[in-house]
Amino acid sequence: MASVSIIDVSPRDGLQNDARLIATKQKLKLVEQLVAAGVSKVEVTSFVRPDRVPQMADADEVLSAAVQIPKLEGIALVPNLKGYDRAKIYKPDEITWVSAASELFNQNNIGLSIEENLVQFNKVTTQAKADGISTCFAIAVSFGCPYEGDVPEERVVEIVGKAIEAGADRIGIADTIGIATPLQVERLMPKVLEIAQEIPVAIHLHDTRGLGLANAYSAYKAGIRIFETAVSGIGGCPFAPGAAGNLATEDLVYLFEQMDIDTGIHFEKILDVADYAASLSTNNPLGRIRHVEKREGIIK
């Protein structure tokens, strides 16, 4: 049977923009429930400035506890060298380093140019290899930027090549504002896979225009086997005005299940996790609707 890997990012990308501060123990309960449902890789937090992203102020507490959870491969997002120095203390399995395919987004998000960001990433990969920590180089706004508009495919591919030269263990291609179309995905992802060669490539999809699931299917047909999603479709980026939540993990699990593609995730259990995530987040009420449908036996 064919298989795919789904990385759930709800504790980080799903909650980071939520207006209500969520308790550390609730975030950890979400991570534990994800693992119990069969999600082996979870992006648990990010080491960003608390004054810019208050929801992630407890990053140290979350990661230090999460790495103790059995069967979890814990991922932490780090935006700079200082963030890496904080995260490495707790020995996550992987760190995600974010750049952007747009200069303006990069400046607004992390205060660096794309080239300056790559210089720092070179330093991080050297240190991470010595520390035994894998690195994912994620490229935000790969399909369109809220500040610059269209993003040339060639720019994304060029950045992928430079990230691989710097030593990235994984590449992430993100539709940060959720405006990609299946045709765009069909065009870009084979180019990324061609230059990445043996380096794994993931796609990270948001659902602003309701095309997240269609884009995931298009990515699968193009050869992508790693997907980043969030239960109940929660999420949003503080630096991407108008962006909606992530593609819902449970929706993607259902799609692949109906295609006889193994995700390793238990569908009924992930619905329960989606209910819990929806109870924490103010960004997406759809989880509660799913909860009612499931209990009435509409969702099988």
pLDDT above 50: residue 288: no
Answer yes or no: are the C-beta atoms of 232 and 290 closer than 8 Å. Answer: yes
Q: What is the pLDDT of residues 41-88, one digit of tens each?
A: 999 999 999 999 999 999 999 999 999 999 999 999 999 999 999 999
Mean pLDDT of 277-299: 59
Q: Rounded CA gap, 42 and 275, in Å?
A: 17
- Higher confidence at residue 288 or residue 210? 210
Neighbours of 205 (CB within 10 A): 27
C-alpha angle 254-13-163 in degrees, rounded to nearest 5: 100
Give the active site residue among 171, 237, 247, 274. Answer: 237
Q: The pTM is what?
A: 0.93
pLDDT surpassing 50 at residue 141 = yes
Mean pLDDT of 268-296: 73
Give percent of the chain with pLDDT exceeding 70. 91
pLDDT at 1: 84
Report the C-alpha gap between 26 and 34 in whole angstroms: 12
Each residue's pLDDT tens digit, 209-267: 999 999 999 999 999 999 999 999 998 665 555 556 899 999 999 999 999 999 999 99
pLDDT at 289 over 50: no
pLDDT exceeds cutoff 80 at 292: no
136 noted as active-site residue: no
- pLDDT per residue over 158-169, tens digit each? 999 999 999 999
For residue 244, the model assigns a pLDDT of 63
The stretch 33-47 carries a mean pLDDT of 98
Residue 264's pLDDT is: 98
**Higher per-residue confidence, 291 vs 132:** 132
Residue 172 has pLDDT above 80, yes or no: yes
What gap in Å lies between CA 288 and CA 291, rounded to an integer?
5
83-129: per-residue pLDDT in tens? Answer: 999 999 999 999 999 999 999 999 988 899 999 999 999 999 999 99
Residue 179: the pLDDT is: 95
Alpha carbon of 24 to those of 27, 57, 138: distances in Å? 5, 10, 25
Instruction: Give the separation between CA 281 and CA 44, rounded to whole angstroms.
Output: 15
Tell me how far CA of residue 14 lies from CA of 33, 50, 163, 290, in angstroms. 15, 17, 25, 17
Instruction: Please give the Cα distance from 286 to 233 (Å, whole number).
Output: 8
What integer pLDDT is reported at residue 19 of this predicted model?
Answer: 86
CATH architecture of the domain with range 5-295: Alpha-Beta Barrel (3.20)
Q: Do 160 and 195 contact (CB within 8 A), yes or no? A: yes
Instruction: Please report which confidence band the pLDDT of residue 297 belongs to, taking 50, 70 and 90 as the band edges.
Output: very low
pLDDT of residue 75: 98
Q: What share of the chain is helix, strand, coil (3-state, %, to 5)?
A: 45, 20, 35
Which band of pLDDT confidence, cut at 50, 70 and 90, is reported for residue 286?
Answer: low
Strands 5-8 and 170-175: what pairing?
unpaired
- Work out the mean pLDDT of the chain and round it to a whole number: 92
- What pLDDT sits at residue 152? 97
State the pLDDT at residue 240.
56
Residue 242 is predicted with a pLDDT of 54
